[in-house]
Chain A
Amino acid sequence: MMRIFLILFVIVALNILFADRYLIPKTPIPADQIIIKNSVDAVPQRILLDSKIYQKENQEFVITLNNQTRNNAISMGLKEVSSYKAVEMPNGNYELTDMKLLLQYKDAGYVENIGFDYGLDIIDSMPAINVVILQARDVTQLNDLMINLTADSRVVDVSFNLVEMSEVPE
């Protein structure tokens, strides 16, 4: 009887002594090695405007931001270029974009997944500088798309693909 108690005691003692052997150790990553980005802080650097673009005979582009300037452009017989929109730059200037996105990535392995996650098609690729040109399948939410891509840790930088300089009609 004493032997049975002794054996039970040894089993219990060994279980207690070696219990930690079967736990996976967990080590925190130091805070100074973690770079946090929060979407609340993410502000688009460039804003796609509700605009229509027209072209003069001398090939200059005209940006219209309201009905009045649109009517002026139409009355002048200018041709609308529907594939372009106006972008407001951080310095307040206007530029034209073909609504494609220039995206610089951290790792080429991410590109396919980024396209899948955001509904983007790869139009062109410049692997030497980690850049792809992407086209959104839904161009109605491009500003929101820019905010989300800016906050994405796989993305170094994203901007609208700009085309030629233009002017605003008086």
Chain B
Amino acid sequence: MMSANPDLDYRGVKHILAGTSKIIDADRRVDLFGVDLHSWVTNAAGFNFHNWYGFGKADADAAVQAAAIFDQNLLGTQAFQEISAEFSSPIAIEDFAGRSANISIIPEAGKQGVVEFIRLLVNFNATDTSTLNDIGITITSPSGTTHSVLQPFTNVEGQPTFYWAIGVAGFYGEDLSGDWEVAVFDFNDDGTSPGSWVGVKMEVYYR
């Protein structure tokens, strides 16, 4: 791709790969208690994304052809914002229930306001280490796209109190501006609370 267009940088390469890659294993889907954990999701900008396969199987021919005619300047420069939401008191996650927080984001003036990448940090006090596995986290964009960014029962290990960083690529190309919803669920209907949600931070890379 960079031989076809030496002006490309990593953002240009990512943009082209995300737009030219093909859906693979289209039926791979896991839905648990109404929450979509793994499936192909077409976001509001038209990009397909799957938690297992990313943007899909790279199509080398299509990517090189697109690279040859791509104007890197269309992407502009990248901007960064960090928005933290802390709760006035920790929010207990009830047994087999979810809580959600809305975070409003406004891009800097002069920017396109288009998402490139999100890093989500969730501050959680688990009842004990084992209950970490009961937790699932989703994000819903202002455009209405929902991605599961942490799946339950995946043998997660760590400190009961953690500030968990999760990279989120599936909103690529969507509008940044508006209310983003972050939701934390307890997926284990065992009669116990997995712990308390203390706060959340979104680090947004956009153009």
Contacts and interface: CB of A to CB of B under 8 A. Distances in A.
Contacts, number: 89
A120 B42 CA distance: 40
Nearest to B32: A24
B98 A27 contact: yes
Contacts of A153: 84-86, 123, 199, 201
Contacts of A40: 81, 108
Contact of A33 (B88, B162, B186): B88
Main secondary structure of the interface of B (DSSP, over half): strand
B149 interface: no
A28 B85 CA distance: 14
Given A39-B82, A148-B82, A26 B91 contact: no
Contacts of B163: 110, 113, 117, 154
Contacts of A109: 159, 161
B121 to A, nearest CB: 9
Interface in B129-185: 159, 161-163, 183, 185
B85 A34 contact: yes
Given A36-B103, A40-B108, A107-B161, A24 B85 contact: no
Contact of B183 (A26, A32, A39): A26
Q: How large is the interface on B (under 10, 10 to 19, 20 to 34, 35 or more residues)?
A: 35 or more
A61 B102 CA distance: 50
A25 interface: yes
Interface string A106-135: 010110010001000000000000000000
Interface string B101-115: 111100010000000
Contacts of B82: 38-39, 148, 151
B85, B91, B162 interface centre (most CB from chain A within 10 Å): B85
B34 A24 contact: yes
B102 A39 contact: no
A29 interface: yes
B100 A28 contact: yes
B133 to A, nearest CB: 16
A99 to B, nearest CB: 23
Interface in A35-80: 35-40
A113 to B, nearest CB: 5
A27 B108 contact: no
Given A35-B85, A38-B83, A153-B123, 14 more contacts: A24-B98, A26-B183, A27-B99, A29-B87, A32-B88, A33-B88, A34-B87, A34-B88, A36-B104, A38-B82, A39-B83, A110-B163, A117-B163, A148-B82
14 contacts: A24-B34, A25-B97, A26-B100, A26-B183, A29-B87, A29-B91, A33-B87, A33-B88, A35-B85, A36-B85, A39-B83, A40-B108, A153-B201, A154-B163
> Can you list the 4 inter-chain pairs with the closest CB atoms, starting with the nearest?
A23-B34, A39-B82, A26-B98, A153-B84
Interface of B: 33-35, 80-89, 91, 96-104, 108, 123, 159, 161-163, 183, 185-187, 199, 201
